[in-house]
A and B are shown apart, each in its own frame.
Chain A
Amino acid sequence: GIQVEQSPPDLILQEGANSTLRCNFSDSVNNLQWFHQNPWGQLINLFYIPSGTKQNGRLSATTVATERYSLLYISSSQTTDSGVYFCAVLAPEETSGSRLTFGEGTQLTVNP
């Protein structure tokens, strides 16, 4: 099956700093999503981005499908950005087209 690797595993920032999180995947994908799990455990969908670039406020994401990676940018980080960021992908040849595979996440801590 498809492999998903996220880096870095841990990241500590001061409030106001910018950061880039990376998601590498081992095969072509037709579905790629970024999620934020807040310190209370809630999983929030940030982006559906199998290709191209999207922006939502201070967050943006870019997926370069031909090179098999996606980047999540966080600008002017705030303490509320703390939590775990997950990337999840679906390979088009996956038989049922229904098994999203998650990376192990990047643990982000933003200090005041």
Chain B
Amino acid sequence: NAGVTQTPKFQVLKTGQSMTLQCAQDMNHEYMSWYRQDPGMGLRLIHYSVGAGITDQGEVPNGYNVSRSTTEDFPLRLLSAAPSQTSVYFCASSIHPSSYNSPLHFGNGTRLTVT
């Protein structure tokens, strides 16, 4: 049971490049989400999904796309990277957050630098 797996761990992009951050979970969780963490700003929700085929925007969705074709995978796409997207990105999963006893499990993060 690997939990939540994120790849890559580190990435450097040039402005305008695109890339996909991968996230996979093996706990059969219906809920998956992406957060970014910037110094002094805590964790901010980018996008989330409550099941395959269902996604929705979080607090800071601009510049990012997501899809959820399977229960296990929830990739985050940067279409045209900008320096403002330099951050640490975390993927997380749980059973539905409104369900009782739904602790959130995080991946180990991806540190992205855009130059």
| A residues in contact (CB < 8 Å) with B | 30-31, 33, 35, 41-45, 48, 86, 88, 90, 92, 96-105
CB pair B42–A45 under 8 Å, yes or no, is: no
Interface size on B, residues (CB 8 A): 28
B23 within 8 A of A: no
| B residues in contact (CB < 8 Å) with A | 31, 33, 35, 40-45, 48, 50, 56, 58-59, 88, 90, 92, 96-98, 101-106, 108-109
Number of cross-chain contacts by CB at 8 Å: 65
CB pair B43–A45 under 8 Å, yes or no, is: no
Residue numbers in A under 8 Å from B43 (CB-CB): 86, 88, 102
Nearest-CB residue, chain A, relative to B108? A42
Residue numbers in A under 8 Å from B45 (CB-CB): 99-101
Partner of A98, one of B48, B59, B108: B48
CB pair A45–B97 under 8 Å, yes or no, is: no
CB pair A104–B41 under 8 Å, yes or no, is: yes
Nearest-CB residue, chain B, relative to A97? B98
CB pair B56–A45 under 8 Å, yes or no, is: no
Nearest-CB residue, chain B, relative to A92? B98
A44 to B90, CA, bound (A): 12
A98 to B50, CA, bound (A): 7
